[in-house]
Chain A
Amino acid sequence: MKPGTLSTFLKRGAIWGFIALELIFFTVAGEFLSVSDKAFMDVDNMLLLFKQSAPIGIIAMGMTIIMVNGNIDLSVGAIYAFCAVILLDSMTWPIFAGLGDAVIPVSWILALAVGTALGALNGLIVWKTGVDAFIVTLGSMLGYRGLVFMYNGEQPTSHLNWTLVDFAEQQFLGLHTATWFLLIVTAVIWFLMNRTVHGRNAYAIGDNRAAAVNAGIRVGPHMMVNFMIIGFLAALSAVVFYSESGSVNPNDGELYELWVITAVVLGGTKLTGGAGSIISTFGGVLAIQLLRKGLAHIGADTETVNLVIGLILIAVLFLDRQLNLKGKEELKV
């Protein structure tokens, strides 16, 4: 066994170990505490878990690339809300009135294009001005939210298209539509990060930006593409969720950025960039959703969920640092 293999294994497998622990804990605790007589590890319940993970999970895949890059995107919640408004509102536009159900793909494409464009705007500002992504997206988080409000005031935007709802509620091979989207996105982004030049570059830039520039990687355009990807994914997440729900409030998606970042960090991605894995992010997303569901199952209130997730996040950070300390000399004074 090579030195460090154990700690690598621990780090890689930690999130899955945590998920297993959660499953066991909630199953056992559920026997004693749960008010419902259904088991926690019920097949339907687990399928629902995947479906409910989809909105956060789809965005988290994009956030992983952004964070591997060493950037962060705080505006995803606002992009999500804006695309949802575009999706639902565009279906009622008079120019599309003659399309019938063919309006669905048109609205989808429109919403996805808008999301990509908003992401591109973030990316362009980061690239051209050199302002830190944290500040740029902090600003656009406010700005895009303002656009959502300007679009339709403080009113909710609603439009139910039953064909679309049927599609969103469909189950193919037992899995819900939303689950399929999550799985496909995970697979595609995994391929992007592990099998393409773009993915290699993402790690290289996050690890050492100066070296990446010297190696001839065009850092600016690369980061802009990543912001477009996360914009697209935030839009996709909105498209998947609001096809079913059919109504969006201007405040929807608030704090999504925090949930997404929590999931990604739980999956072991470094804030400083250069390290992170799509599969672990997937684990992080599941772990959070499992925690929310499990705590509800044993009769805990929402406040406990917040408390537990916050503490776990800090604990993960602490453990991760302890595991990484070996072999690295800390500054001793």
Chain B
Amino acid sequence: MSGLTKQNIGSFLARQGILVAFALFMIGFTLANGRFLDPDNVMGVVRSSAILGVMALGVTFVVISGNLDLSVGSMMSFSTIVVLDLHDKIGPTLAIPAMFALTLCLGALIGFLVGYLKLNSLIVTLGMLSAIHGLTLTWSGGKNMDIADKEATWFGIFGQGEIIGIPVPILIFALLASVLGLILAKTPFGRKVYAVGGNGTAATFSGIRRARVVFSCYLMSSFCVATAGLIQASRSMGSQNTVGQGLELEVLAAVILGGASLLGGSGTIFKTVIGVLILGFIQNGLLLVGLQFYVQYVVTWVIIILAVWLDIAAKRGKLWSPIA
């Protein structure tokens, strides 16, 4: 052990910088407002981050495999609207699996286009963003969707219920994060996702069926989106057509904040969860110190760029970019 040289501190900061930043934020906000670390407040923040978080879990898979998914926002609107509409028509027991099936079909379509047809994921999911939005509007006829009898249904449990004092959205988020985290870190499939994102050609030559891996990543992403839609629908019992609009970029911001590289091959579920929590706590902390909600946009901007910059600066060993 050579002790705490400047270089060691630097590389520690680069590797775990996001955790350090998270800790600093928590301390700062706690000092600024005593209510920040109140259990009720913490629970509230995690609960409201759960929807974004669940989506971010799926997108992490897609990003690690070297692709992008910009369609999660409008896909989430779709699943919310569909499950709310079907709830009154065929009852919640059938509506939920039906919604999951439909959302997975959309995910499969994207997975097919990106995985098997090898089309550029940015453009495909950009197109799907628009197309799914159109699909949602067609389904709802442009109207808001509401559950007629909000008192008589057990559907609210996913968004509003509590089990042993913990809100159900948090439980779903935690459960999904653990399962997906295990899949990514401990299974052969997880290894393949990293391999495909890190070096697709090498992965193909070592016998990994790249198309199938990419396809599965999009399926997982759409499964997460469907879950997020379920939580959203159950929480509000009614929804506009645009409920998920713009979420795709916030989700991506959380994933990037967690240190996943857009080039693929790096990132973990745990760090994504940290990224999601940072976004949630910053938002909450700024509100608690009395700032308007939009200040968080500016703060998020600065944090994203600093996070990514420090990450790549550590990798190349120089702070400033070498491009002339």
Contacts and interface: CB of A to CB of B under 8 A. Distances in A.
Interface stretch (A81-89, A180-188, A303-311): A303-311
Contact of A314 (B118, B127, B142): B127
B321 A220 contact: yes
A333 B205 contact: yes
Contact of B124 (A141, A143, A317): A317
Nearest to B137: A303
Contacts of B118: 321
The main secondary structure of chain A at its interface with chain B is helix
Contacts of A314: 113, 119, 123-124, 127-128, 131
Interface string A92-126: 00000000000000000000000000000000010
A303 B305 contact: no
B1 interface: no
B231 to A, nearest CB: 23
Given A219-B324, A220-B321, A314-B123, A307 B294 contact: no
A-B pairs, 8 with minimum CB distance? A310-B131, A143-B301, A130-B321, A146-B297, A307-B134, A303-B137, A306-B134, A149-B294
What range describes how many residues of A lie at the interface?
A: 35 or more
Interface of A: 74, 125, 127-132, 134-136, 138-147, 149-150, 153, 213, 218-221, 254-255, 258, 261-262, 265, 271, 301-314, 317-318, 321, 331, 333
Contacts of A144: 301
Given A139-B300, A313-B126, 13 more contacts: A127-B321, A129-B320, A130-B323, A135-B304, A138-B304, A142-B301, A145-B297, A150-B298, A219-B324, A261-B126, A271-B120, A310-B129, A314-B128
16 contacts: A74-B249, A130-B320, A135-B262, A138-B256, A139-B300, A139-B304, A220-B323, A271-B120, A303-B133, A303-B138, A306-B133, A307-B130, A311-B131, A313-B130, A317-B119, A333-B205
Contact of A307 (B113, B119, B135, B301): B135
A106 to B, nearest CB: 27
Interface in B69-92: none
Given A220-B321, A317-B120, A331-B204, A254 B246 contact: yes
A145 to B, nearest CB: 5
B113 to A, nearest CB: 6
Nearest to B301: A143
B134 A131 contact: no
Contacts of B120: 271, 317
Nearest to B138: A303
Contact of A220 (B119, B295, B324): B324
Interface of B: 113, 117-120, 122-124, 126-138, 142, 201, 204-205, 245-246, 249, 252-253, 256, 262, 292, 294-302, 304-305, 308-309, 312-313, 316, 320-324
A138 B292 CA distance: 21
A119 B159 CA distance: 41
Contacts of B129: 258, 310
A120 to B, nearest CB: 15
B323 A219 contact: yes
Contacts of B294: 145-146, 149-150
Contact of A310 (B117, B119, B127): B127
Given A129-B321, A140-B301, A219-B324, A153 B292 contact: yes
B300 A308 contact: no
Contact of A317 (B123, B132, B292, B304): B123
A139 B253 contact: yes
B21 to A, nearest CB: 15
Contacts of B252: 138
Contacts of B246: 254
Contacts of B133: 303, 306, 310
Nearest to A311: B131
